[in-house]
Amino acid sequence: MNQSAASHRASELHLQLNDHNHNYYILAQPTITDREYDDLLNELIALERDHPSLATPDSPTQKIGGEPLETFESVVHPIPMLSLSNTYSKQEVADFDQRITKLLAQTTHDYVLEPKIDGVAISLHYEHGILIRACTRGNGHSGDDITQNVKTIRSIPLRLRTPTPPNFIEIRGEVYMPTEGFQALNLTRLDAGEDAFKNPRNATAGSLKMLDSSIVATRPLDVVLYAVGKVDGTTFESHTALLAALSEYGCRTPPKTWVSSDIQGIIEGLDALQAMRDEFPFQIDGGVIKVNDRSLYDRLGYTAKSPRWAVAYKYEPEQAETILHAITIQVGRTGVLTPVAELDPVDLAGTTVSRATLHNEEEIHRKDIRVGDTVIVEKAGDIIPAIVRVVLEKRSGNETAFNLPDNCPVCDTPVVRTETEVAVRCDNLHCPAQIKSWIRHFASRNAMDIDGLGDTLVDQLVDLELIQTPADLYTLRIEKLATLDRMAEKSAHNVISGVDKSRQQPFWKFLFALGIRHVGAGSARRLADHYLSLEALMAADQASLEAIDDIGPIVAASIRAYFADPTALAIVQSLQTSGVQTTQPPPENKETLPLNGLSFVLTGTLPDMTRGEAGEKLIKMGAKISSSISKNTHFLVAGESAGSKLIKAEKLGVPIIDAPALSQLLESGQLPETPHP
Which residues are identified as catalytic? 116
DSSP per-residue letters across 279-312: GSSS-EEEEEEEESBGGGHHHH-B-SSSBTTEEE
Which range, of 110-118, 124-132, 153-161, 652-660, touches ligand IVH by CB under 6 A? 110-118
H/E run at residue 440: helix 432-443
Which range, of 39-47, 82-90, 377-385, 489-497, touches ligand IVH by CB under 6 A? 82-90
Residues in Cβ contact with 93 at an 8 Å cutoff, skipping those fewer than 6 apart: 87, 263, 266, 267, 270, 289, 311, 313
- Based on CB atoms, which residue is closest to ligand IVH, 288 or 336? 288
- Based on CB atoms, which residue is closest to ligand IVH, 48 or 118? 118
Which range, of 2-10, 79-87, 161-169, 644-652, touches ligand IVH by CB under 6 A? 79-87
Compose the 32-61 pattern: x for residues touching ligand IVH by CB under 6 A, - for all others.
Answer: ------------------------------
Binding residue for ligand IVH (CB under 6 A) from 14, 20, 77, 116?
A: 116
- Based on CB atoms, which residue is closest to ligand IVH, 72 or 226? 226
Q: Say which amino acid occupies 452.
A: G
Query: Nearest 5 degrees, angle CA 379-CA 381-CA 386?
Result: 30
- Based on CB atoms, which residue is closest to ligand IVH, 41 or 224? 224
| Least CB distance to ligand IVH at residue 34 (A) | 31
- Based on CB atoms, which residue is closest to ligand IVH, 283 or 502? 283
H/E run at residue 127: strand 120-127
| Least CB distance to ligand IVH at residue 310 (A) | 6
CA–CA distance, 23 with 11 (Å, rounded to integer): 18
Which range, of 81-89, 233-241, 465-473, 503-511, touches ligand IVH by CB under 6 A? 81-89
- Based on CB atoms, which residue is closest to ligand IVH, 243 or 467? 243
| Least CB distance to ligand IVH at residue 266 (A) | 14
| Least CB distance to ligand IVH at residue 578 (A) | 50
Q: Say which amino acid occupies 298.
A: D
Binding residue for ligand IVH (CB under 6 A) from 47, 55, 82, 210?
A: 82
CA–CA distance, 659 with 667 (Å, rounded to integer): 12
Binding residue for ligand IVH (CB under 6 A) from 55, 112, 113, 117?
A: 117
H helix count then E strand count, the chain: 25, 22
Interface positions, 157-186, toward ligand IVH (CB under 6 A): 174
| Least CB distance to ligand IVH at residue 542 (A) | 43
Q: Say which amino acid occupies 79.
A: I
Strand stretches in 515-639, DSSP E = 599-603, 624-626, 635-638
Interface positions, 217-246, toward ligand IVH (CB under 6 A): 226-227
Residues in Cβ contact with 299 at an 8 Å cutoff, skipping those fewer than 6 apart: 103, 104
Residues in Cβ contact with 602 at an 8 Å cutoff, skipping those fewer than 6 apart: 611, 614, 615, 625, 636, 637, 639
CA–CA distance, 262 with 282 (Å, rounded to integer): 28
- Based on CB atoms, which residue is closest to ligand IVH, 79 or 326? 79
| Least CB distance to ligand IVH at residue 378 (A) | 21
Work out whether 84 is an interface residue with ligand IVH (CB under 6 A): yes
Residues in Cβ contact with 479 at an 8 Å cutoff, skipping those fewer than 6 apart: none
Q: Say which amino acid occupies 241.
A: A
- Based on CB atoms, which residue is closest to ligand IVH, 311 or 410? 311
Q: How many CB atoms are located within 10 Å of the residue 587 CB?
A: 11
Interface positions, 309-368, toward ligand IVH (CB under 6 A): 310, 312
What is the Rg, in whole angstroms, of the alpha carbon atoms belonging to the chain?
29
Binding residue for ligand IVH (CB under 6 A) from 3, 42, 83, 351?
A: 83
Q: Say which amino acid occupies 443.
A: A
- Based on CB atoms, which residue is closest to ligand IVH, 57 or 143? 143
CB under 8 A, 24+ apart: contacts of 666-669: 666/53, 666/614, 666/617, 666/618, 666/621, 667/53, 669/594, 669/595, 669/621
- Measuring CA to CA, which residue among 477, 435, 474 is closest to residue 458? 435
Interface positions, 459-478, toward ligand IVH (CB under 6 A): none
Which of the 8 DSSP states describes residue 590?
G
CA–CA distance, 25 with 40 (Å, rounded to integer): 17
| Least CB distance to ligand IVH at residue 223 (A) | 11
Interface positions, 500-539, toward ligand IVH (CB under 6 A): none
- Based on CB atoms, which residue is closest to ligand IVH, 114 or 373? 114
Binding residue for ligand IVH (CB under 6 A) from 48, 58, 114, 472?
A: 114
Binding residue for ligand IVH (CB under 6 A) from 60, 269, 307, 615?
A: 307
Work out whether 252 is an interface residue with ligand IVH (CB under 6 A): no
| Least CB distance to ligand IVH at residue 136 (A) | 10
Q: How many CA atoms within 13 Å lie on the side-chain side of 428?
A: 18
Compose the 277-306 pattern: x for residues touching ligand IVH by CB under 6 A, - for all others.
Answer: -----------x------------------
- Based on CB atoms, which residue is closest to ligand IVH, 138 or 265? 138
- Based on CB atoms, which residue is closest to ligand IVH, 279 or 479? 279
* Conformational region of residue 88, where left means phi above 0, alpha means psi within -120 to 50, and beta covers everything else: alpha
| Least CB distance to ligand IVH at residue 272 (A) | 16
- Measuring CA to CA, which residue among 656, 665, 654 is closest to residue 632? 654
| Least CB distance to ligand IVH at residue 301 (A) | 12
Residue nearest to ligand IVH (CB): 121
CA–CA distance, 39 with 677 (Å, rounded to integer): 50
| Least CB distance to ligand IVH at residue 557 (A) | 40
Which range, of 112-120, 194-202, 548-556, 640-648, touches ligand IVH by CB under 6 A? 112-120
| Least CB distance to ligand IVH at residue 254 (A) | 6
Which range, of 113-121, 482-490, 627-635, 653-661, touches ligand IVH by CB under 6 A? 113-121
- Measuring CA to CA, which residue among 459, 458, 488, 483 is closest to residue 473? 458
CA–CA distance, 57 with 333 (Å, rounded to integer): 41
Work out whether 121 is an interface residue with ligand IVH (CB under 6 A): yes
| Helices of type H across 115-262 | 147-151, 179-191, 200-208, 213-216, 239-248
The residue count for binding ligand IVH (CB under 6 A) is 15
The residues that touch ligand IVH, with contacts defined as CB under 6 A, are: 82-84, 114, 116-117, 121, 174, 226-227, 254, 288, 307, 310, 312
